[in-house]
Amino acid sequence: MEKLTDRDKRYLWHPLTQHKTQREMLGIKKANGAILIDEDGNEYIDAISSWYTAMYGHCNPAITEAVAMQMQQLDQVIFSGLTHEPAIALSEALMEVLPANQEKLFFSDNGSTAVEIGIKMALQYFYNKGQKRSIMLAFEEGFHGDTFGAMSVSGLSSYNGPFEEHFIQVERIPVPTEDTIDEILSGLESRLQQENIAGFVYEPLVQGAAAMKMHSAEDLSRILSLLKSKGVLTIADEVMTGFGKTGTYFASDQVRIKPDIICLSKALTAGLLPMAITSCTKEIYNAFYDDEIRKGFFHGHTYTANPLACTAALSALKLLQSAEIQENIRWITDRHQQFDKEVKNHPRISATRQKGVIYALDLKIETPRYGSLRDRLYEYFMERGVYLRPLGKTIYLLPPYIISDVQLNKVYSAVRGALELDL
Q: 370-383 and 405-418 helices cross at what angle (nearest 10)? A: 140
Q: What is the largest CA-CA distance in the chain?
A: 67
Q: Coil, helix or strand for 185?
A: helix
Q: Cα 305–310–314 angle (5° rounding)?
A: 150
Instruction: Please say whether the beta carbons of 392 and 367 come within 8 A.
Output: yes
Instruction: Provide the pLDDT for residue 277.
Output: 98
Give the pLDDT score at 36.
98
Please give, one letter per residue, the 3-state secondary structure of 138-164: EECCCCCCCCHHHHHHCCCHHHHHHHH
Q: Structural domain boundaries of the chain?
A: 4-59+323-418, 74-321
Strands 276-280 and 261-264: antiparallel
Burial of 249 (0-12, 13-18, 19+ CB in 10 A): buried
Tell me the CA distances in angstroms from 258 to 227, 310, 349, one per residue in order. 12, 25, 35
CB atoms within 10 A of CB 253: 16
**What SS3 class is residue 35?**
strand
Strand, helix or coil for residue 275: coil
Rounded Cα–Cα distance for residues 324 and 57 (Å): 14
Dihedral over Cα of 326, 143, 339, 47: its sign? positive
pTM exceeding the 0.85 threshold for the entire prediction: yes
Exposure letters 338-348 (e unless 16+ CB within 10 A, then b): ebbeeeeeeee
Tell me 187's DSSP state: H
Amino acid 371: pLDDT: 59
Q: Could you tell me which CATH class the domain 74-321 is placed in?
A: alpha beta
Residue 423: count of CB within 10 angstroms of its CB: 17
Please list, in sequence order, all residues whose beta carbon lies within 8 angstroms of the beta carbon of residue 407, skipping any fewer than 6 positions away: 34, 35, 45, 399
Q: What is the pLDDT of residues 223-244, one digit of tens each?
A: 999 999 999 999 999 999 999 9
Q: What is the pLDDT along the chain (423 residues), one digit of tens a residue?
A: 899 989 999 999 999 888 998 888 999 999 999 999 999 999 999 999 999 999 999 999 999 999 999 999 999 999 999 999 999 999 999 999 999 999 999 999 999 999 999 999 999 999 999 999 999 999 999 999 999 999 999 987 667 778 888 899 999 999 999 999 999 999 999 999 999 999 999 999 999 999 999 999 999 999 999 999 999 999 999 999 999 999 999 999 999 999 999 999 999 999 999 999 999 999 999 999 999 999 999 999 999 999 999 999 999 999 999 999 999 999 999 999 999 999 999 999 999 999 999 999 999 987 554 558 888 999 999 999 999 999 989 999 999 999 999 999 999 999 999 999 988
Helix (H, G, I), strand (E, B) or coil at 409: helix
What is the C-alpha to C-alpha distance for residues 92 and 88, in angstroms, rounded to an integer? 6
Report d(CA 398, CA 357) in Å as an integer: 6
What single-letter DSSP state applies at residue 417?
H
Out of 3.20.20.70, 3.90.1150.10, 2.60.40.1120, 3.40.50.300, which CATH number does the structure's domain 4-59+323-418 have? 3.90.1150.10
